Amino acid sequence: MIEIADGVFIRRHAELDLTLGLVTGSGDSLLVDSGMDLALASEVRPSRIVLTHNHFDHVLATEAFLPCEVWAHEGCVVDESLLEERAKYYDEPFEGTLVAPTHTFRDTIALDVGGRRVDLHHFGPAHTSHDVVVHVPDAGVVFAGDLVEQGAPAQAGPDATPSNWRHVLDLLLELAPRIVVPGHGDPVDARFVREMVIPEAT
């Protein structure tokens, strides 16, 4: 884990250039996306996981971290279709159990992580219909999921709404982040987000 702000960490993965996050408080922690790395669960035991969206590379390892709360937007569906998506990239079968969210929200909710406030926001459809932005106000850090990608262009799949993507990023920037953590790639700043090219619909 790489500390990018006081008590805020990222975990970088060569596989798909994935970036996971960890927010720590007093005796508590919250993981941003479970990813695909089952081994991470032997190092980190969060009381909550927040899924930024339901694409397979962000959710498949959730089972390894149980028991914990699994938070997501109310529109986040974790079902067998994710295994079909995964099969486009990998030949071997998925060894594990898909875990659906146990706690959902609609627009905004504040969580207490060991005395530290972490805000979850849904600003509308963009990369998916149910993107979650995770804001750590006291650190000036925002985890953007795949709303932001560094090192490669952002991707718009069949469930994306490119016409609303810039508006969602503008609302993200209103949080005045010092650091924005993308779903893939290294952390960036607000200028990177302002200048990001919005993908076209596929």
Q: Where are the chain's structural domains?
A: 2-195
* Contacts (Cβ under 8 Å, ≥6 apart) of 88: none
**What's the pLDDT score for residue 157?**
86
Measuring CA to CA, how many Å separate 9 from each of 61, 67, 83, 86, 118? 18, 21, 28, 27, 14
**What's the pLDDT score for residue 26?**
97
21, 33 Cβ separation under 8 angstroms = yes
**What's the pLDDT score for residue 95?**
86
Grade residue 158 by pLDDT with cuts at 50, 70 and 90: confident
What is the average per-residue pLDDT within 190-195?
97
- Chain centroid offset of residue 150 CA: 14
- 202, pLDDT greater than 70: no
Q: Which residues pair with 180 in a beta bridge?
A: 142, 188
Of 78-82, 91-95, 180-184, the poorest mean pLDDT is in 91-95
- Distance, CA of 173 to CA of 176 (rounded, Å): 5
| pLDDT one-digit tens code per residue, 28-40 | 999 999 999 888 8
The total number of residues written for the chain in this structure:
202
pTM of the model: 0.96
For residue 134, how many C-alpha atoms fall within 13 Å in the half-sphere facing its CB?
Answer: 28
Mean pLDDT across the chain: 95
Architecture of domain 2-195: 4-Layer Sandwich (3.60)
